[in-house]
Amino acid sequence: MAFTGQHRFLSNFALVEVMLDGRPYPTVEHAFQASKTLHPAEREEIRCASTAGQAKRMGRRVELRPRWDTLRLDVMLMLLRQKFRQTYFKTRLLDTGEAELIEGNDWGDRFWGVCQGQGENQLGKLIMQVRSELRGKAGG
């Protein structure tokens, strides 16, 4: 199941307020890109980006924080947990049942997603992990 059409809500570009260091961000993408740096001015500039796409482009130019490669999965998981705790997104995610969630793309991202049939699909795996966690809480 790709993150398009009726499943666009799974995308990190979906409008949903998440918090990072006590500040609201308009999308998971904004917050994730801001998390790449420890510089307050860079974080604020990304937080105020007019679109998630702009935030993503800005995130490519920041000074990366130490150990970012080892932190990025934990940061993404924390942000996804916030997103999918919100009723609308939680309900829609749980409605996907047991479907495999694949962040398909055509821009070559083979870490977070799958491009031309190849990739680690880390974003899809994290969202499925959150779905399992939510299901466990709902059933417990």
Alpha carbons 73 and 82: distance in angstroms, whole number = 14
What confidence category does residue 134 fall into, taking pLDDT thresholds of 50, 70 and 90?
Answer: very high
Cα–Cα distance, 108 to 96 (Å, whole number): 25
pTM of the model: 0.94
Which pLDDT belongs to residue 1? 63
pLDDT tier at 140, thresholds 50, 70, 90: very low
pLDDT grade for 38, boundaries at 50, 70 and 90 = very high
pLDDT digits (tens, 9 = 90+) for 2-14: 788 899 999 999 9
**Structural domain boundaries of the chain?**
5-139
Domain 5-139 has CATH 1.50.10.10: no
